[in-house]
Structure 1
Amino acid sequence: MRYLIIDDEPIAHEIIKEYCDLLPHMELMKNCYDALEALDYLREHTVDLLFLDLNMPKLKGFEFLKTLSEPPHVIVTTAYQEHALEGYELNITDYLLKPFSFQRFLKAVNKVALSPTARTTSNSLHTSLKNSIFLYSDKKHVHVKLADLLYVEAAGNYAKVVLTGSTIVIREKISDVLELLPSSQFIQVHKSFIISKNHLQTIEGNRIRINDIMIPIGKHYKDNLKTSLKL
C-alpha cells in the first residue's frame, strides 16, 4: 500500500512512519511538509493512502482534499476534533486525534485494507490486504487471515477471537471488532457473538453450529441473520 504523509510537523512523520514500518505491504512514497508539495507529487504519481494533517500553512488539509478529483483513501491525523464531521462528509476513511496509539492507528489502516475500493499495486496484494487483519494481543501484533476466523466472543472489554487451531484474546469491545470485519463474510448473531458465514455448519432452532461449538442466536439478531443468509 503506497502512502504519503502530509504534515508540517517532522515528529508526526516520524511517528507515522514508525507505525507503518511495523506493518507489511506499507510503502512510503514521499514525506510532504505542506499540501502544495503533495499536490506537485500527485500530479505525476498515484498512491493508495494519504495521512493528512489539517492545520498546515499555505493550504489547509480539507481545502487540499477538495482540489483532488479522485482522492485516494485518507486518514486524517490532527489535534483538532471539531473538524471530524466535515471530514466524514468528504468520505475520509478515519479521523485520528493526536496523540494516537499504535492500536488506534492499526484500526484505521485495517479499514483501508478491508475497503472494497482499496487501491493497491497488484491484484495479489489486494487479495492479501482484503483477506487479513492485524490484531493486538499479548503485546504483539498478530496477522490473522479472515479465512481462519471462526467466531468472536465478547468477554467484557475483551474479545476472544477463535481461529482454526488457535484462540487470540484482545482488549477490544465486540462492536469495535465488528467494524474491522467485512459484512459479506461476518455477521453478529448475538450481543456476545460474531460468526463467520463461511464456517457456519448448521442452524438448529436458536443455535448455530460452528466446528462443533453451539452459538446462541439472539432474538434481536435472528431476522437480520435470515435476511443475510437468504433463508
Structure 2
Amino acid sequence: MMRYLIIDDEHIAHKIIMEYCEMLPHMKLQKNCYSALEALEYLNTHQVDLIFLDINMPKLKGFEFLKTLSAPPKVIVTTAYSEFAIEGYELNVSDYLLKPFSLERFLKAVNKVMGSNTNLKNASSEENDRATKRIFLRQNKSYIQVEVDTILFIEAAGNYTKIVSKTDTITIREKISDILESLPSDDFIQVHKSFAVAIKYINRIEGNRIHIQDHTIPIGKLYKANLIKILN
C-alpha cells in the first residue's frame, strides 16, 4: 500500500487527485493539507510514501517546503507553472505534472514512482517490495494491474506496445520508451529499437537472437553494447 499526502491550497486539485487515486487500489490517502505549514506539522508525527505537491502556495512555497525535509518521501509536483520544472528535478522530484493533467498522464507519474529502483522511504520492507512490482496499464477503456516480475519482454508494434508476461499479452497505445521509464532500469534492457527484455528471463543468447521461453527476440546492431555489459 502506498500512503500519500496532498499539499495544495486549491480544493479542486485535491478532488481531482483523490478521484484518480481511488481508481488505484494500492493508493491510500493519509491527509489533505491546504498549506505547506499544515503538511510540516503532520509530517512531524506521521510518515507517508508519496506527496502530491503544489508549488505556488501562501506563506511557504512548495519547493521551500521540500528543502526543509531532511529525508523527503517520493514527490510528484502538481502545478500550473512550467518554468519551475528544472528546479523541481534538481530537488529529485519523481515527476512534474502541469495542471490540468489527464488521468493517463497522472497514471504515468504514479507508475514512475512505483517502478523506481529506489526503495520507498518510510515504508516497511514488505510494502516496498509489493509497491515496486506493480504498474497499471491502460488497455482500451480499462486499467490492468500487472506484476512487473511476470513481464518477459516488451515489443513496439506501430503506434502500440505489447507487454508480454508469463500469463498474458497486453497491447496499449503508448511508446515503448514511456513504458521503460515505468520499469526498474536494472531489471530490463532494450536490445532492439522495438524490443526490451527482462534480464532474468533470458534463457540463452545465440548470435543475434535472444531466447526467452518459447519466444525469440532479435538483437539490434546499435544495442549489442547493452548486452555486452550484462554478459561481462
Q: TM-score normalised to the size of structure 2?
A: 0.95
Choose which of 214, 222, 225 in structure 2 pairs with 1:223.
225
Tell me which moved more, 91-100 or 103-112: 103-112
Deviation at 1:55, TM superposition (A): 0.9
Please give the residue correspondences for 1:167-206 in structure 2 after superposition, counting only pairs within 5 Å.
Answer: 167-206=169-208
Paired with 1:85 and 1:196, the residues of 2 have a C-alpha distance of 32
Give a deviation string over 1:26-78, Cα, whole Å, max 9, x none.
Answer: 11111111111111111221211110001111111111111111111110000
Query: Secondary structure at the residue paired with 1:220?
Result: helix
User: Structure 2: 5+ residue runs without aligned partners?
Assistant: none
Deviation at 1:120, TM superposition (A): 5.3
Is residue 16 from structure 1 mapped to residue 17 from structure 2 by the alignment? yes
Query: Secondary structure at the residue paired with 2:221?
Result: coil
- Aligned CA RMSD, in angstroms, stands at 1.3
Query: Secondary structure at the residue paired with 1:112?
Result: helix
**8 A contact 1:154–1:193 mirrored in 2:** yes
Paired with 1:80 and 1:63, the residues of 2 have a C-alpha distance of 15
Which residue of structure 1 aligns with residue 61 of structure 2? 60
Q: TM-score normalised to the size of structure 1?
A: 0.95
Structure 1 consecutive aligned stretches of length 4 or more whose deviation exceeds 3 Å: none
Paired with 2:69 and 2:150, the residues of 1 have a C-alpha distance of 38
**8 A contact 1:3–1:49 mirrored in 2:** yes
Query: Secondary structure at the residue paired with 1:62?
Result: helix
Deviation at 1:13, TM superposition (A): 0.2
Q: Which amino acid aligns with 1:143?
A: Q
Is residue 84 from structure 1 mapped to residue 85 from structure 2 by the alignment? yes
Which residue of structure 1 aligns with residue 110 of structure 2? 109
Number of equivalenced pairs: 230
Paired with 1:118 and 1:22, the residues of 2 have a C-alpha distance of 21
Is residue 97 from structure 1 mapped to residue 93 from structure 2 by the alignment? no
Choose which of 205, 213, 220 in structure 2 pairs with 1:211.
213
Paired with 2:186 and 2:231, the residues of 1 have a C-alpha distance of 10
**% identity of equivalent residues:** 63
Paired with 1:120 and 1:39, the residues of 2 have a C-alpha distance of 16
Deviation at 1:106, TM superposition (A): 1.3
